[in-house]
Every structure is written in structure tokens, then in C-alpha cells.
């Protein structure tokens, strides 16, 4: 087995991504990775610019990779390309260097192997990176963690609903910071399973984690959190607003999408507050 392979990374307008994927398959790519609005990158991995997608194609032969690069350059003039030789690493551990613990307010969130370095005065959450979103170090997650920290400081015992819970990180954080009833839902079965594992590991097995569709979750909650993508948030606006008792926090929204998302929730009778921003990612805050 070769100890190196080649990766061709292509940034291009999202509308052209499907045609590019076909072209790369035809050009002999062994595998493709797509990062776009539908498939946000894993934490620590570079994401596409707004309106763009990133497609990474893997090749085991330099000749095939170079001819694919030439073909893409001529057929997709708007594309930016980078061909790299990648040395095989021990993939079972190499990715670990990309995972960073974060400190947000009273919280420390990090992987198990960094726990020994976590400050003892923090509320420490251990999230092992697996196939669910939410290890803490993505800006959308840390923006929400800050909101959870703030809200729980002034509302001990509050009920919390986390829609699109992923690893369960926000739900678990809320509970560890003194929330009463905490419910987390996700429409991805693997995420629900991992969120339950994480709740156990972090001493919060009482957090109610399931794949229940939002519309079927009974009642209202003092704080509702939803870190999903802008288009999904807009679709879910009536149901999210209906579950909001006091406060609603949205993330997963890019700066250029903030007006549309804000308008959809103001139309549900919620009052928009100041919010927060990290880079291109914005957090939208509302109160009833
Ligand atoms: C960006 S991740 C957020 C994970 C975690 N809450 C965090 O803040 O890091 C979005 C999650 O929403 C889930 N999701 C997407 N659409 C959904 C829907 N309509 N209902 C419930 N969950 C959804 C995805 O499966 C994914 O786990």
C-alpha cells in the first residue's frame, strides 16, 4: 500500500458542486468529500466561503490527479484548486491534533485526553469527538455555550430545550449549570445515541435525549436553543417559537442570512435582542 496519496481541493460556487463531483468521479477520483451548507465541516476542518462548496477528491496516482486538475481548471473557470501530496499518518490518532478544548464562561469543553489540563475551577464537560457535531470548538457551538452560561446564571432551575442537539453538548452544559428539566432532540439517530453516551459520561443521564420531532415535544421551555442551519431554522420558526417560554437562541446562521432569519422569528411575535457574532457566524437572541 502506498504511503502517500494526493488530494485535490476545489473551492467553487455551490451551484456547480454537483457537476464537479461527476467530473471528478469520471477523472478517476477514489473518493470525494463535500463540505457545503447541507454538510457543515467537522470542527477543526476548513469550511466553504458563503455561497461556495469545497470538494476534496482523493487519488493514488499523481498522473490521474494532475489530469483531473487540468480538466477542472478548464471546465470550471470559477474554481480555486489546490493539489497536495498527503503522507499517510496513523489516522487513528492524527486527527486529535485538530481538536481543541474551549473555555466559555464557567465552562470547559474538551476531549477526554485533554481533561488532565482542564482548570479545576471550571465546569468540565468531556465530549469525545465521534460522528456527531458539537465538540465545543466550532464558533456556532461556543456562541451558544456563552448564551447558556449567561441564561443559567440568572435563571437557576430553568427548563431547557435543545433542538438539533448533536453531541448533546448544549443540553448537558445547561444541566451542569443548574437547569431543571432538559430535553434535547435531533433528527439524526447516531447523534441521539452519542448524545446519550455523552450525558452518561458527564453525569447527567437525566437529560432527555431523543429523535422526537420538534412538533411532537410537549410544552414550553424557559430557554430554547437551536444551532442548525439558516434554512432549517426558518422552516422550524413556528414550532421553535411555540416552544419558547422566555428566551430563544439561534445559531448556525451566517452574517448574510441574519436578516432573513431574524424576520422569520419576529414574525412569530418574538422580540429580537442584540445577539453575538464570531467571524461570519452570528447568534440571534430573542425573548418572548
Ligand atoms: C450544527 S449541529 C449542532 C450540534 C450542537 N447543538 C452544537 O451546538 O454544537 C446541528 C444538528 O441539528 C440536527 N438537525 C438538523 N435538522 C434538524 C431538524 N429538523 N430537527 C432536529 N435536528 C436537526 C443535525 O443532525 C445536527 O446534529
Which amino acid residue places its CA nearest to atom 8 of ligand 1? 141
Q: How far is Cα 188 from Cα 244, in angstroms, rounded to an integer?
A: 23
Which amino acid residue places its CA nearest to atom 27 of ligand 1? 166
Ligand 1 mutation target, pool 164, 168, 173, 217, most atoms within 8 A of CB: 164
**112 CA distance to ligand 1 middle (Å):** 23
CB atoms within 10 A of CB 124: 18
The SS3 of residue 140 is: helix
Instruction: Output the CA torsion sign for 248, 251, 255, 260.
Output: negative
Ligand 1 mutation target, pool 166, 185, 194, 225, most atoms within 8 A of CB: 166
How far CA 225 is from CA of 59, 123, 212, 284, in Å, comes to 41, 20, 16, 10
What architecture does CATH give domain 4-93?
2-Layer Sandwich (3.30)
DSSP state letter for 37:
S
Please write the tens of the pLDDT for every residue from 239-262: 999 999 999 999 999 999 999 999
Sorting pLDDT into bands at 50, 70 and 90, what band is 277?
very high
What architecture does CATH give domain 99-287?
3-Layer(aba) Sandwich (3.40)
CB atoms within 10 A of CB 178: 13
Question: Each residue of 55-94: b (16+ CB within 10 Å) or e?
Answer: bbbbbeeeebbeebbeebeeebeebeeebeeeeeeeeeee
Sorting pLDDT into bands at 50, 70 and 90, what band is 43?
low
Please write the tens of the pLDDT for every residue from 191-215: 999 999 999 999 999 999 999 999 9
- Extents of the domains making up the chain: 4-93, 99-287
Amino acid at each position: 500500500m502506498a504511503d502517500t496519496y494526493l488530494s485535490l481541493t476545489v473551492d467553487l460556487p455551490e451551484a456547480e458542486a454537483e457537476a464537479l463531483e461527476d467530473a471528478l468521479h469520471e477523472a478517476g477520483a477514489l473518493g470525494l468529500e463535500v463540505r457545503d451548507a447541507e454538510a457543515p465541516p467537522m470542527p477543526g476542518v476548513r469550511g466553504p466561503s458563503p455561497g461556495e462548496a469545497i470538494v476534496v477528491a482523493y487519488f493514488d496516482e499523481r498522473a490521474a490527479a494532475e489530469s483531473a486538475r487540468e480538466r477542472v481548471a478548464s471546465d470550471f473557470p470559477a474554481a480555486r484548486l489546490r493539489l497536495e501530496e498527503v503522507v499517510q499518518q496513523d489516522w487513528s490518532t492524527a486527527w486529535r491534533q485538530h481538536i481543541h478544548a474551549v473555555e466559555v464562561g464557567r465552562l470547559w469543553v474538551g476531549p477526554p485526553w485533554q481533561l488532565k489540563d482542564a482548570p479545576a475551577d471550571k465546569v468540565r464537560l468531556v465530549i469525545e469527538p465521534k460522528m456527531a457535531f458539537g465538540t465545543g470548538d466550532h464558533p456556532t457551538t461556543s456562541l451558544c455555550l456563552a448564551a447558556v452560561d449567561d441564561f443559567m446564571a440568572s435563571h437557576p432551575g430553568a427548563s431547557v430545550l435543545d433542538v438539533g442537539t448533536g453531541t448533546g453538548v448544549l443540553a448537558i452544559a445547561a444541566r451542569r449549570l443548574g437547569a431543571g428539566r432538559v430535553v434535547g432532540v435531533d433528527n439524526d439517530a447516531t447523534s441521539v445515541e452519542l448524545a446519550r453516551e455523552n450525558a452518561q459520561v458527564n453525569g447527567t443521564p437525566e437529560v432527555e435525549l431523543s429523535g422526537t420531532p420538534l412538533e411532537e415535544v410537549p410544552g414550553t421551555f424557559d430557554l430554547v436553543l437551536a444551532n442548525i442551519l439558516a434554512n432549517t431554522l426558518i422552516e422550524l420558526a413556528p414550532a421553535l417559537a411555540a416552544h419558547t417560554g422566555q428566551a430563544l437562541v439561534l445559531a448556525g446562521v451566517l452574517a448574510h442570512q441574519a436578516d432573513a432569519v431574524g424576520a422569520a422569528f419576529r414574525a412569530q411575535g418574538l422580540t429580537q435582542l442584540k445577539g453575538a457574532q464570531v467571524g461570519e457566524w452570528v447568534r440571534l437572541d430573542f425573548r418572548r
